[in-house]
Structure 1
Amino acid sequence: MQIRYFLALSLLPQLVLADDSPTASASQCLIEPPVPRIVSQTQGMTAAELSKIRIVSDNSNAEMGKQAIFRGDVLFSQGDRHIAADEAILDQATEQFDANGNLVFQDSNFTVTAKSLQAQMRSNRATLQGAQYWLHGQQVHGDAEKLQITINNNLILTNTNFTTCPPDNVSWLLEAEKIKINSEEEWGEIWNAKLRIHGVPVFYIPYMTIPVSDKRKSGFLYPSFSTSTTNGVEFSVPYYWNIAPEYDLTFTPSYMSNRGLFTKTEFRYLAGERQNGRLNLEYLSDDDLISGNPNRYLYNWQHQGAIDKHWRVLANFTDVSDNNYFNDLNSDVNRATDNQLSRIGEISYFEKNWDLSTRVQDIKVLGEDEKPYQVMPQVNFNYRAADFWKSLDFGFNSELTNFAHQDNNINTATRLHMSPSVTLPIHGPSGSLTSQVKLMQTNYWQQNEDPNRVVDDTVSRTLPQVRINGQINFERFTELFDENYRQTLEPQFQYLYVGYEDQRGIGIYDTAQLQDDYFGLFRDRRFSGLDRISDANQATLGITTRLLDDHNQEVTKFSLGQIFYLQDSKVGYEDSIFESNQSTSVLAAELDTRLTQDWYMGAAIQYDTNTSENKKTEVTLDFRPEVNKLLQLSYRYVPDLLNSNTNDTVNISQAGVRGAWPISDNLYFVGNWYYDLNESRSIETYTGIQYESCCYALRFSYHYRIKTNYDDNIGTAAIDNREQFDSGFYLNLVIKGLGGSGPLGVSDMLNDGLFNYRKPLYLRN
């Protein structure tokens, strides 16, 4: 017998803990309730239909205006909410609803089993005795002696607990005398909480809060602990302050036994819907490791975003107290390998065919006495008109730059550059041919301040450029090792002509020689910046071949190319930038290939055919049979690299081994080892072991690495007194479901070091 009632019953609010996205298999970690899920067909239903209540039972006895009693497989449904029980009583006069016997409550978010339920439909109050709850699609589950739903739809659990561990292996359990879930603020308050790990009480908190959604709330974050030979024992406890929906702040005090108290503050903000920024302040008072006990600090400001659909803004400013700041301290802004601080401010305006931007820029190089030029300011205007006349494209690029300097005895200048161009692009499936004519007009107004480098007061430089770049695409189907492939052959050529003009009267403000890798062979310049535009009469020949499998995935890519100089370049040779003119450039080759199903190789070589010398070599060999399984062998060689500390050239010859491998389903190993073949010494060793289950993750790691030591500009410490190597132990723990920032990942262990892990660049699998 079926009886339908139109009632209004609102039960449990949504309870969602922070998603920890465990590394362990999601199917292994998700905890399903012991009762079957009831699937609701609510899609497309109207609000009136969703509010209807349907009660189904084996037997029922109802009298209008009095009690309605339902017995035997009672199912109470309203929208996606369901209550199953052996017996249910509805008192129509008092609007009281009672249910008991194998009681199950379900909605789209969770399942609750209980001994009994009492609900007051007029006030939307409800009480469940002897409750057990499970969150759908998550790991959270627990018990409660009493579960109450208040008139404000808040949730109160008495003598309760919860965990994210599987029921048969509860590694941790949080017990509490009382938990209150505020449905509006979506945060939980916990009184007299006790944390048990493997049944042993290890932590007691009289009061704490936890998130039950992705809303932010002020409170302490997970602490971290480490030891190192340089900093000693280090312990930090971050505190998060949710100031407002558009502002927050994280304050992290760290105590280092060898240095003192190091504080880090990060303030984040939103400026409207499309702008955001961050302010970082770091401070170490009276560094005990440096004689004179200097104060060390960092401040950084970043801002970016769009004012409207046309205007864009960008700002980035960083300053530190000394050259070795990033080498000695664990900063949230830069890594130890970063030795340049960029200060940029830019505002841009974009239209369909043109854009205008203004920027200021200053670069601070750590450990260098020579300071780069400041751009104060630079104005860029670019215009483009595609197919403006008979398939021709027109472009106009210009910039006006003022170069300033912090020192008064350095030459400064203002530079105006204009470059109109006409391009004829021809593209098709079989290839492409792009022809371009460009005129480059540059004017300098220079101020002579350096008696050792006299420049012309005014310079007007006009240079024509002709560039023809073409590529032909061939392809065929072939069979290799009993596999079918599609092979492409893509010969590419370029002719470049640039006129000559003596440029020795122009200072060097933002210009450096570019590297000749394979793609660099097809550039139209040999220098960055505009202070030197090398004359050219040259042809570049290159070829690329690819193998693609039946799924159109790239299996192998090989490129080889070289520039042939038809005429010696005077610019650069006159300035002694080039040691001598050569008939050809380096022979540049690049390879990325999948050798077998699990083996991958990447290589890049630059070989000087004139002197028979190797100019650069990089090789990586990867074994990647599965996700989080990796063995990589690498080697790199770079000759004549300038040492900024000694101004001498050194040859870099380094070999490395990197591996990541699961020891078991929950235990991972990651290790790095890099060795300097010239110095016959290890330059970095990293070993990390991580255990991760469905409910917590623990990582223990050891790090030994070379320290980059610049000349000190604080205190009286000499560079000889600094340690050349630093080693330390690190311990990280995340208990999932207690507001942690997520599990520890294998990928970040691969990138935790001086040398980041790199996959082959062009393979798409």
Structure 2
Amino acid sequence: MPDLRLRAAALLLSACGQALAQGAAAGPAADELPAPRLRLEPRLSELLATDDQGRPSYASADVIRGRVDHDLTLRGEAEVRRAGTVIRAERIRMLAADDELVAVGNVRVVRQGSVFSGPALQLRMEDSTGIFLSPSFALGLLGGRGRAERLEFLGEGRVAMQDAVYTGCRADDPDWFVRAQRLEIDQQREEGSGRSAGLFFRGRQVLAAPVFGFPLGEGRRSGFLPPSFSYTTRSGAELLAPYYFDIAPNRDLTLYPRFMTLRGLQLGGQLRYLEPRASGDLRAEFTPRDTATGESRLYWSGLHNYANVGGWSGQVNARGVSDDNYFVDYSRSILASSDRVLPRDAFATRNWRDWTVLLRATRYQSILDARAAPPYERLPQLSLSRIDRDIGGFEFEQLFDATRFRRPLADSVEGNRLVAYPRVAYPLIRPGWFITPRVGVHLSSYRLDQTGADPVSLNRSVPIGSLEAGLVFERPTRLFGRELTQTLEPRLFYVRSPYRDQSAFPVFDTGVADFNFAQLFSDNTFVGNDRIADQNQLTTALVSRMVDPGSGVEAVRLAFGQRTYFSEQRVAIPGVAPRTDPHSDLLLAGSAVLGGGMSLDAGLQYSVRDSSVPRVNLLWRYLPADGRIFNAGVRYLRDELGQVDTSWRWPVSAGWMALGRVNYSWLRRRTDPSTLTVIDAQPGIIEAIAGFERNADCWTLRFVLQRFVTAAGVSTSTFFIQLELAGLARIGSDPFDILRRNIPGYRLPADRPSLPSRYFGYE
């Protein structure tokens, strides 16, 4: 057969050959066969059809010899394509009968973003099986690369390698790699496994395993998760070896035994589930015998959410511990160690006609100092609410609540409370101004149970009226060369409610509201339904904003507010002195986006009576785009809180970041909020972390030391170390949640490139 000298000319091979053979044997003329046509697609899909049977092959080369339906030999820049697979070599032989090819010399295979290169290849195209000698590979969609002495194609997306090296690094001399006697990669399931393997990091072997598995993507798979190691002064050295069960696409279970040198073995587990109308998270940690106390220890929690089950939606949320000191001994954060009241709450809500119905039951486990004054439990609560808007310009609000209160404390007053609070408003809102008059009446009835006495009934009705009005002025302005819109927004709020003697009424769930801008415009200075304040007061406020007219971003905001009282306060909560001043403290607030990643938030409460500052909140943040972070803040509340808080993430050398936070309290005496008594306080660091982070091409190393106060005179120190190998695993305890909570703005390094599309570097 004469030579066919073709360069870059595609020939339709197997499909056309079969069609010609069938046509010669049976039937229609060649001109009756439909011509091959290209199909237009509106977008490039990442997913390709996996069935290669019957699909045509295309070939090109400097020289092609042979028969299309039997045996072809391609020489010189040979190339074969079929269904997303491209094979290039110096010489390719194609056997049509077995749908097989043999390639020799600088062989290169590209399939769905993955690239394999080596000296020789034998491949069966129909089922993607074959052998590749001494290949190197790059799994484009999964980010891994490496080399092997021998590679076997086991079918669609599956390969097995002998004497293989695998890494997630892009450099030719990788910082880490896995060397295995046998390594299998399954791109469809996004998982890898190996035998007789070792993990090498910076030239040293750090782990060895007879068998191991690792994920190649974010998909879930059952198996052991990387172990973690940490250290705390309360529990000693800790080794955690979790095992993950991928039960179903909507369920999983993690078992995490933890060994602690000072407390022994702890067994932990977490079950998660997701249903069409429900989801949940169940967790338990059990220490059969705490070697430090000689007792068994237990923590458990359960969270169940459901939606539209018979028209009802709601939640069940419960937590519990075996003893008062569990969080002191086992907590790994200051938030967990400060828990004193653990709720066990269940509620269900639904819409019924125009009403919203709420059913609730709440109990608590009180520990440590909270045992002296536990909160009241709601057993049960029924609430109905309704809002009707724009009925002839009016708004009608209705609230009805019935609750049974119980308290696990001797000689506590318990009983039932009924509340009704209908209100009507007539809002007038126009461009540049608004005014809203509102009137209502708060009705309540109590039936109290008292030890050794007959039940007592109490009733109360308090009318409440308010008037709110405001103006909005705007003008264009310039600030530091920026075109902005400045607003001036004065606002008034007057509220009036008469005095009712409430000294005989219990306090089930009510407290004094925090003094802030939102509370300035509330119609009750108490939170809860057990006290309705006697009020004759006017709130005056002024807000000015500078807004980018194009984006709507608020560049600067300043606010001022104060109350004027026209009568003395008579209704109070036991143990809290009533107000006597004719004016409230001044509230000042401001925020600004300064540019260059800097922002400032400030809040100040100024006492006119004694020219003092009872409350200050300041926060300066610096978060430029390069990942540096510096936060500095001050929090002060007279007789309760006085703290300086700084945190940072800052480069100290090439690739290394210093991480840290210091939260320092300067108070020497403070008021205990539960007993309202003044107690001694010890100045010092409440919480601190210090660490380093190294972010390289394909790995990240973190060292974090944390110290925090768990109780008066008691503190805990913890140490975390984690090595994150891109595309393989995270080894060690994960400090990310701790860093994110302690360093506002902290996030995982984002400079590592995302995995490419299969069309990246398309050949």
Aligned to 2:433: 431
CA distance, structure 2, for counterparts of residue 207 and residue 471 of structure 1: 72
Partner SS, residue 519 of structure 2: helix
Alignment counterpart, residue 691 of structure 1, candidates 691, 694, 712: 694
Aligned to 1:570: 570
CA distance, structure 2, for counterparts of residue 79 and residue 152 of structure 1: 12
Give the superposition deviation at 1:162.
0.8
In 2 relative to 1, CA 506–708 (structure 1 residues): closer, same or farther, beyond 3 Å? same
Equivalence map 1:698-717=2 (5 Å) = 698-709=701-712
In 2 relative to 1, CA 390–112 (structure 1 residues): closer, same or farther, beyond 3 Å? same
Give the superposition deviation at 1:668.
0.9
Equivalence map 1:496-575=2 (5 Å) = 496-549=495-548, 551-572=551-572, 575=574
Aligned to 2:586: 587
Residue identity opposite 2:491 in structure 1: Q
Aligned to 1:405: 407
CA distance, structure 1, for counterparts of residue 327 and residue 198 of structure 2: 40
Structure 2 residue 728 is matched with structure 1 residue 731: no
In 2 relative to 1, CA 576–331 (structure 1 residues): closer, same or farther, beyond 3 Å? closer
Give the superposition deviation at 1:636.
1.7
Report Cα offsets for 1:704-750 as digits up to 9, x if no partner.
333314xxxxxxxxxxxxx6333343322222322438996878525
Gaps of 5+ in 1: 9-39, 642-651, 710-722, 760-765
Contact 1:430-1:474 at 8 Å conserved across structures:
yes
CA distance, structure 2, for counterparts of residue 745 and residue 487 of structure 1: 43
Equivalence map 1:35-434=2 (5 Å) = 43=42, 51-136=55-140, 139-150=143-154, 154-182=158-186, 185-270=189-274, 272-290=275-293, 293-308=294-309, 310-330=311-331, 335-350=336-351, 353-366=354-367, 367-368=369-370, 369-387=372-390, 389-407=391-409, 409-434=411-436
Contact 1:408-1:449 at 8 Å conserved across structures:
no
Gaps of 5+ in 2: 1-8, 17-38, 669-682, 747-763
In 2 relative to 1, CA 742–295 (structure 1 residues): closer, same or farther, beyond 3 Å? closer
Residue identity opposite 2:397 in structure 1: G
Aligned to 2:24: none
Aligned to 2:6: none
In 2 relative to 1, CA 188–638 (structure 1 residues): closer, same or farther, beyond 3 Å? same
CA distance, structure 2, for counterparts of residue 245 and residue 77 of structure 1: 36
Contact 1:686-1:703 at 8 Å conserved across structures:
yes
Give the superposition deviation at 1:382.
1.7
In 2 relative to 1, CA 594–352 (structure 1 residues): closer, same or farther, beyond 3 Å? farther
In 2 relative to 1, CA 691–450 (structure 1 residues): closer, same or farther, beyond 3 Å? farther
For structure 1, which segment, 628-637 or 44-53, has the greater mean C-alpha deviation from structure 2 after superposition? 44-53
Partner SS, residue 328 of structure 2: helix
CA distance, structure 1, for counterparts of residue 353 and residue 104 of structure 2: 69
Residue identity opposite 1:255 in structure 2: F
Aligned to 2:13: 5
> Normalization by structure 1: what TM-score?
0.84
Contact 2:73-2:91 at 8 Å conserved across structures:
yes
Structure 2 residue 666 is matched with structure 1 residue 677: yes
CA distance, structure 2, for counterparts of residue 156 and residue 339 of structure 1: 55
CA distance, structure 2, for counterparts of residue 423 and residue 758 of structure 1: 42
CA distance, structure 2, for counterparts of residue 581 and residue 211 of structure 1: 67
Contact 2:332-2:718 at 8 Å conserved across structures:
no
In 2 relative to 1, CA 336–81 (structure 1 residues): closer, same or farther, beyond 3 Å? same
In 2 relative to 1, CA 726–130 (structure 1 residues): closer, same or farther, beyond 3 Å? same
Give the superposition deviation at 1:613.
3.5
Contact 2:383-2:399 at 8 Å conserved across structures:
yes
Partner SS, residue 526 of structure 2: coil
Please tell me whether Structure 1 or Structure 2 has the larger radius of gyration of its CA atoms: 2
For structure 1, which segment, 175-184 or 85-94, has the greater mean C-alpha deviation from structure 2 after superposition? 175-184
Alignment counterpart, residue 660 of structure 1, candidates 637, 640, 649: 649
Contact 1:628-1:746 at 8 Å conserved across structures:
no
Contact 2:723-2:732 at 8 Å conserved across structures:
no
Aligned to 1:36: none
Report Cα offsets for 1:218-270 as digits up to 9, x if no partner.
32222232334333333322222333433322222233323332332222222
CA distance, structure 1, for counterparts of residue 488 and residue 418 of structure 2: 43
> Normalization by structure 2: what TM-score?
0.84
Give the superposition deviation at 1:336.
1.9
Contact 1:69-1:89 at 8 Å conserved across structures:
yes
For structure 1, which segment, 90-99 or 118-127, has the greater mean C-alpha deviation from structure 2 after superposition? 118-127
CA distance, structure 2, for counterparts of residue 222 and residue 667 of structure 1: 24
Between Structure 1 and Structure 2, how many residues are aligned?
694
RMSD between superposed Cα atoms in Å: 3.1
CA distance, structure 1, for counterparts of residue 69 and residue 141 of structure 2: 41
Report Cα offsets for 1:489-525 as digits up to 9, x if no partner.
1111111122332222221111111111122111121
